[in-house]
Structure 1
Amino acid sequence: MFATIAQGLRFPEGPVAMPDGSVVLVEIAAGRISRVHPDGTVQTVAEPGGGPNGLAIGPDGKLYCCNNGGFDYIEHPSGLLIPHGQAADYSGGRIERIDLATGAVEILYRDGDFGCTLRGPNDIVFDAHGGFWFTDHGKTRPRERDVTGIFYARADGSHLEEVIFPSENPNGIGLSPDGKRLYAAETYTCRLMAFDVVAPGQIDPTAGLGGPGLPLYRPAGYKFFDSLGVEACGNICVATIGESGISVISPTGDLIDFVPTPDPFTTNICWGGPDLRTAYITLSGTGQLIRMDWPRPGLALAY
């Protein structure tokens, strides 16, 4: 059972549970960051434009945002809002830093910085060292799709590096509880990949055949993986498009649970509450943020 906290959101994603019980999230199709209060009130935090996507709180208490530059959308007859390729007014991929108190938006990294190509930054996770990993999902245009990678950056703007390339349109990203494994969910291959972290911003390049990383899990059927979260026990919870729900995968690659949801574009999950057993899930196609009790606590994030 779940409760709907807010509806009418414009493709919500990137939820971050806040200490006061609110949830900060993006509305990708509206180009804004919003705060959903426990009573369902929605407050605009910032309006960076483009396509704000993944969010995380950094060591300075500010909000770090993966901005994909924007999608075009289809308003399906069923009422679903569906992303459809690169926006006509695509504004470029970037990483932004946002002051939650004032709404001020600063571009921390943009396409071309440190020799890196940023097409569609998507999801983000901070490590215990104050740096962050993020995926670049790329953009899709008629008859072509970007080949992208996974990046590591410092929060002070001093370092940006593409650590993993190529990756098959990576989406969700997370770290194991001990920080020694990096997980990334690929959308179109519907694979959950695992990478061994050997130092901050470095992975073992030999762990895998034909490139770094090991395919951990891949479901059957017509499904796509979106963003993910990690439980305190190490399970990886991947938002699953098509089948509609959250796939819960063990660190050894076994599907141990599937939590269904009523939106085929179920895109992300985070945890809040005093025991981190309240799950917040974005139902993007129908524009909802829902809340449910979760059987296991989520992993406490670095910040």
Structure 2
Amino acid sequence: MRAESVSLDRAPSLNSPSGNHLPMTRIKTLLALCLLPGVAVSALAEETYPVHPDSVAQEGVPRGKVEGPFKWRSEIYPGTVRDYWVYVPAQYDAAKPACVLAVQDGLNRARGWKLPTVMDNLIHAGDMPVTIGIFISPGVVPAPNEDAQPRFNRSFEYDAMGDRYARFLVDEILPAVSKSYNLSDNPNDRAIAGASSGAICAFTVAWERPDQFRRVLSTIGTYVGLRGGNEYPTLIRKTEPKPIRVFLQDGSSDLDIYGGSWWVANQDMLAALKFAGYDVHHVWGKGGHNGKHSTAIMPDALRWLWRDYPEPITAGHSERRRTDLLIDGQEWELVSEGHRFTEGPAVSPAGDLFFTDVPNGKIHKVSADGTVSTFVEDSPGANGLAFGPDGRLYCCQGKTKRIVRYDAEANEEVVLEDVTTNDLTVLHNGQGYFTDPRNNQLWHFTTAGEKSVVDKGIEFPNGVVPSADQTLLWVADTRGRFVYSYQIQPDGKLLYKQEYGHLHRTDATGQSGADGMVVDTEGRLYVTSRMGLQVLDQLGRVHFIISKPYDGWLSNVTFGGPDFDTLYVTCGDRVYRRKINATGAMPWQPPVTPPKPRL
């Protein structure tokens, strides 16, 4: 989509408050001071902006009301108390769901932006829909005595990465306001706004929950190294585009301190959003870290954010990605649901998909026509699955401490006994590997029943898969951030262990959540993780992150379909599929030589 830019700022004035020009000697003194280290122009010249006509109360425009403050004690942020206010437009009709504008930093921020008046005018003019404003203050944990300071939660709530604040809004504040007002639950009808740390908070809410909020207003946004926000430009470039519309404002005299340069960071955000194909608009000025410029442009910012409403906001598309996997119109499709915890997807040479329901000890089969049936009724603790070159299905059977295999009629044969297992792979030459996270070990085995430990020390070894040419073995560490790489020797032993694949991780635990893996014929490695399906090139660098289909544990992945060009993932209690621009390299097939990697 097209990115637009307008400059509504005005250059700082050297005029005196009375409107008379300063004496030339004073001007020279100011200019000389500007050359001194650490002295910013914004500190020497007052920012002035024209008052927008839509920020002034207009005759004949019905006025809404602001109710509150209402006190809120949060469970998601234990011990905190805060106030929030609700703006109700005069046009509100309880019979019709109203749109929502959530604003961080409470009524002070809303009044600073003149939001009640601006919303009165824009709603009356039809430039934005009938919208309930919710102005929310950051939480505070009150001091236990008069000699102590409260714990101020603003940075923790606003600057943090992850979905905690989004859950606070969705699970606590919106339901509370909905008791009194009819709020729309359509994400296309919800906007969120903030300044500084409140701005990155607004973006994070939409980024984490585009199923709840899709319109973001960000002014002097704190996309710097305070709590990880500096990672956003990289994540935006790598992650599958989300259905979000973003308005950015900043000034060239914004903060430049220990956490970074706000001005540079906002420009990086714009470049990343444009690269990834987002619907983004920006207004740059020369001002500092304050609300003067954003107040002057607020009516136009909201007007742009709600333009073409109620047309739905959709995800854009980047034309410049080095790794281009997605196909227009191909989204995640539900294959099967109603299980307890799905794992171990594996595809047979005939194209049938098999997966496990671990707690129920079942192995299910999805035929080429989409029919789901139970292949094995009782395989206790069945977890990882893999087909071998013999056409049989190998299974990590956790509760019996065995690896077993099944023929086409589901007849079971024991391969290994007295082993703790999680996931496994079987190569074309009949050699296999399985992970033992309980004992931090990696095992080699053969289809004839031989086994030996080939590595120790990974904190939680989980998924295991060979490279497309079957000369390297990759092992995921769920509790770390790396995928380990080894060179496979002719006798099955492993050499040259290295922390190779560098994964992105969330703030939730500091762990990547790396689990199942699969490779394609181009040599790319697909790793399920907390952040989504991370796609790495042969050099171990994440090029792209495909979003999870569902808010569950993304446990494993494989290729399937007649041409092995469809991803199948197990996620929570469900199985999904998605056709992409790649072909899987299955371990039981002969090795494939991928192209030489681009350095």
TM-score bin, normalised by smaller chain: 0.7 to 0.9
Query: Does structure 2 retain, via aligned residues, the 8 Å contact 1:45–1:100?
Result: no
Residue identity in the other structure for 2:522: C
**Of 532, 545, 558, which residue of structure 2 is paired with 1:270?**
558
- Tell me the equivalent position of 1:235: 524
Q: 1:134 touches 1:150 (CA, 8 Å); kept in 2?
A: yes
Q: Which residue of 2 aligns with 1:174?
A: 465
Does residue 56 in structure 1 map to residue 386 in structure 2?
A: yes
* Greater relative CO, 1 or 2 (CA 8 Å, sep 6+): 1
Does residue 47 of structure 1 match 2:377?
yes
Question: Aligned partners of 2:551, 2:581: CA distance in 1, in Å?
Answer: 21
What is the distance in 2 between the residues matched to 1:23 and 1:188? 28
The answer to whether residue 538 in structure 2 is matched with residue 251 in structure 1 is yes
User: Where in structure 2 are the equivalents of 1:280-295 lying within 5 Å?
Assistant: 280-283=568-571, 285=572, 287-295=573-581
User: What's the secondary structure of 2:523's corresponding residue?
Assistant: coil
Give the drift of 1:194: 0.6
CA displacement 1:70-128 (0-9 Å, x = unmatched):
xxxxxxxxxxxxxxxxxxxxx4x221112231x222222122xxxxxx33x11111123
Equivalence for 1:85: none
Kept after mapping to 2: 8 A contact 1:97/1:105: yes
Distance 1:9 1:19 in 2: 25
Match of 1:260 among 537, 547, 550: 547
Q: Which amino acid aligns with 1:134?
A: F
- The answer to whether the 8 A contact 1:48-1:105 is kept is no
Contact 2:423–2:434 (8 Å) recurs in 1: yes
Identity over aligned pairs, percent: 29
| AA of the residue aligned to 1:216 | G
| 8 Å contact from structure 1 (residues 14, 123) kept in 2 | yes
Aligned partner letter, 2:580: W
1:224 to 501, 504, 513: 513
Q: Following TM superposition, where does structure 1 have runs of at least 4 consecutive aligned residues deviating by more than 6 angstroms?
A: none
Q: 1:154 aligns with which of 446, 465, 480?
A: 446
Mapped to 2, the partners of 1:220 and 1:291 lie a distance apart of 24
TM-score normalized by structure 1?
A: 0.78
Map residues 101-116 of structure 1 onto 2, 5 A cutoff.
101=409, 103-111=410-418
Tell me which residue corresponds to 1:201. Answer: 492
| 1:196 alignment partner AA | Q
Q: C-alpha root-mean-square deviation of aligned residues, in Å?
A: 1.8
Cα pair 1:46 1:105 within 8 Å, conserved: no
The structural deviation recorded for 1:50 is 2.6
Which one of 326, 342, 347 corresponds to residue 12 of structure 1? 342
Which amino acid in the other structure matches residue 514 of structure 2?
Answer: F
Q: 1:15-74: per-residue Cα shift (whole Å, max 9, x none)?
A: 1223554311111111011112355432221134331111111232221101222xxxxx
Q: 2:403 aligns with which of 95, 98, 102?
A: 95
Q: What are structure 2's unaligned runs of at least 5 residues?
A: 1-330, 590-599
Match of 2:165 in 1: none
**Count of residues paired in the alignment:** 254
**Structure 2: distance between partners of 1:183 and 1:252:** 12
Show structure 1 runs of 5+ residues with no match.
70-90, 112-117, 139-146
- SS of aligned partner of 2:340: coil
Contact 2:342 2:575 in 1 (8 A): yes
1:119-168: CA deviations, max 9, x gaps?
3x111111231111111122xxxxxxxx32111111022x1011111222
Q: Take 2:505 and 2:348, find their aligned partners in 1: how far apart are those partners?
A: 35
Q: Distance in 2 between matches of 1:35 and 1:228?
A: 20
| Aligned partners of 2:519 and 2:586 also within 8 Å | no
Hey, what's the Cα distance between the residues in 2 that align with 1:178 and 1:231? 10
Q: How far apart, in 2, do the equivalents of 1:8 and 1:46 lie?
A: 17
Distance 1:180 1:19 in 2: 22
Return the alpha-carbon distance in structure 2 between the equivalents of residues 7 and 110 of structure 1: 32
Of Structure 1 and Structure 2, which has the larger fraction of its residues in strand? 1
Counterpart amino acid of residue 494 in structure 2: I
Please identify the structure whose Cα radius of gyration is greater: 2
